[in-house]
Amino acid sequence: MSSENSLLKKIIQAVVPVLLSIAAIFVAVVITTVFHSLFAPLLDPFPQEALANADRLGKKDVMNAFMEANPFAVYTAIIAHGMGAFAGVFFATRTINAYDRKYNIDRPTWIGPLLVAGMWMYMDIEQDLNLAPIGSTWMTVDVLTTAALSFLAYFLAGGARKVIYGQKAYKRKS
């Protein structure tokens, strides 16, 4: 019975960080949607139908026309994407801890926040190049801003703090 419990604990320790990473991506999606919704009244309606019905060159023309009519649209998108990444990485950093068997403590991990930031940057690239092409220059600015805000969130959430093994705060809760 004891070996079954220890196996179950190991499985839970492996599955929980994955589920928390998925939850962090969900948090990033929600925050990005909120920011896009906050900026939407300041812009003309987004040409979603025109983009869905257009081919690759047609999408570029539709987005160029939209960006000419709304010069601040790209800045609002960069802010929304960056804040979504910030929230997701912050959530992942604060919630995912790795168990260190050597010292019998929980410590901050970097894998979950890295996966969240990487997935978010991949989604930025996909969005900026294929779904709503804004050009490679703006895509680069968007991805670099997302990376910088993800890095900042990781540090502000305490992901880079040095683990002092004698601290009681790091002791694993039984």
Which pLDDT does position 23 carry in this prediction?
A: 95
Greater confidence (86 vs 57) lies with: 86
How confident is the model at residue 159, as a pLDDT? 81
Query: How high is the pLDDT of residue 18?
Result: 87
pTM: 0.83
Average pLDDT score over residue span 90-112: 79
Instruction: Give dist(CA 50, CA 62) in Å, integer.
Output: 7
Give the CA count within 13 Å in the CB-facing half-sphere of 109.
Answer: 23
Residue 102 has pLDDT above 80, yes or no: no
Closest CA to 87 of 39, 32, 128: 32
5 closest CA partner among 156, 120, 174: 174
Tens digits of residue pLDDT in 30-72: 999 999 999 999 888 888 888 888 888 889 999 989 999 998 9
Considering the chain, what is the average pLDDT of its residues? 86
Whether residue 171 is predicted with pLDDT greater than 60 in this model: the reply is: no
pLDDT, tens digit, 9 for 90 and up, residues 113-166: 999 999 999 999 998 888 888 888 999 999 999 999 999 999 998 887 766 665
Return the HEC string of 79-137: HHHHHHHHHHHHHHHHHCEEEECCCCEEEECCHHHHHHHHHHHHHHHHHHHHHCCCCHH
